[in-house]
Amino acid sequence: MQAPSRPLALIVLAAGAGTRMNSELPKPLHKLGCAPLLAHSIAAGAVLEPSRIIVITGNGADAVEAALADIAPEAIPIRQEPQLGTGHGVLQAASALKEFDGDVMVLYADSPFFRPETLQAMRISRDVYDVVMLGFHPADPGRYGRLVMDGDSLTRIVEFKDASAEERAIPFCNSGVLCADAATLMGLLEQVTNDNAAGEYYLTDIPGLATKAGLKATAITCDEAETIGINSRAELVAAEAQFQARRRGEMIDNGVTMQAPDSVHLALDTYIGRDAIIEPYVVFGPDVTVESGAQIRAFSHLEGCHVSAGAIIGPYARLRPGAEIGNNARVGNFVEIKQAEIAEGAKVSHLSYIGDATVGERANIGAGTVTCNYDGVMKHHTQIGADAFIGSDTMLVAPVRVGANAMTATGSIISDDVPDGALAISRAKQVNKPGLAVKLRARLKAIKAGKSKG
């Protein structure tokens, strides 16, 4: 079935205090898969192509809104002050929905696992029903709110503390996710009261009010794993494990080879192409793209980088932000690349640092090479031409250029440009002092012996 053509507004509730996290950091900003929880909720809803995104902030609003500017600059932050419940929170979006003719989807910043397919099914149900809730059948219904159904119709949601014994026996529970026509929802929210022990306005009142108004409500079902909310550090740890397992599974299904999946750590935005090979104990930080056929060898760490097709990285390599690795390039063990382009077929095989640099096609960088890019105040660029050969233990003092087909001698300190095709040698002449090593060693031993007696 195709998704409705009606416009959609996404509302993400991110105002809660999260006191059980025991943290100065607002709960929506705690990270899962290297991204704030808030980013996960927005990413799930963004698949539905909403015409506007509204984020309700409250506790830690300044920090949440600053992060939101990076996560989704187009989103509209609205503060809920004071925080008087979920219904009150959604109602704060009314000003941003004036003259909006379409549906609203309500999600939660601390519930990161809703699948796009599930949310799409809710939208499709809106073709028939005025209000659509999302329910699940937990292994332990516990104190969840119960969805009271009459066939396919949802008549009301009853909170556990208010439920009768018969209602508590209902296994169908409320996730809190809702989809409805925007105008209808805002009209129903105006009728919600705070006549409860907490004195708050609850979104869960909406199905009952809709039924009383002669509107049709329903609930569709999702897996319990999608509904997990994060309220404590322990739950965040469990959620990280769930996130990693899901992402690894998705990548393997898409044709990625992982030799030891449980040892690979992925980020929310990690992209790995088909037929790429990921060896054990690889960590992907934010903003990493690995193209098809590349190989990331064991114990490597990547963040903010792009690895092209056929490239081999590691083992024990580190790619930092701005690293651009070309087709069939090689970055070997104990090599660090930062803000540098390694062109097609180039090799940086071992024990080198290449930062703020351009390495040309098929160039070879010897072991122990360092681009000396920082003068204590500013960064400077090193350019290495195509087919250049950089001898082991070369210090390239930027800004500097080594031309195409040029070479540097082992142990050189290169501070001046090297023309195309030239060989640069910059090291002191070796001088041998006959017998001096024996004399020096004897003198040092005598000094050491004298100190031990004292």
- Catalytic positions are 350
The identity of residue 345, as a single letter, is: G
- What b/e string do you get for 354-363 counting C-beta neighbours within 10 Å, with b at 16 or more? bbbbbbbbbb
349's enclosing H/E stretch is strand 347-350
The identity of residue 37, as a single letter, is: L
With H, G, I as helix, E, B as strand and everything else as coil, classify residue 450: helix
With H, G, I as helix, E, B as strand and everything else as coil, classify residue 383: strand
- Closest of 13, 3, 240, 256 to residue 117, by C-alpha: 3
Distance CA 271, CA 304 (A): 11
With H, G, I as helix, E, B as strand and everything else as coil, classify residue 194: coil
Distance CA 106, CA 133 (A): 10
| Segments in 160-232 forming alpha helices (H) | 165-168, 182-189, 206-212
Which residue has 């390599």 as its token pair? 317
Contacts of 324 (CB under 8 A, 6+ apart): 305, 306, 340, 341, 342
Q: How many CB atoms lie within 10 A of CB 65?
A: 16
Measured N-to-C along each axis, helices 37-46 and 116-125 cross at an angle, to the nearest 10 degrees, of: 50
**298 touches 282 (CB < 8 A):** yes
Contacts of 202 (CB under 8 A, 6+ apart): 85, 86, 87, 159, 192, 196
Distance CA 88, CA 425 (A): 73
Distance CA 402, CA 414 (A): 9
- What b/e string do you get for 382-398 counting C-beta neighbours within 10 Å, with b at 16 or more? bbbbbbbbbbbbbbbbb
Q: Cα dist. 377→288, 373, 374, 382 in Å?
A: 28, 10, 7, 17
* DSSP one-letter code for 323: -
**261 touches 252 (CB < 8 A):** yes
- Closest of 222, 221, 217, 209 to residue 154, by C-alpha: 217
With H, G, I as helix, E, B as strand and everything else as coil, classify residue 14: strand
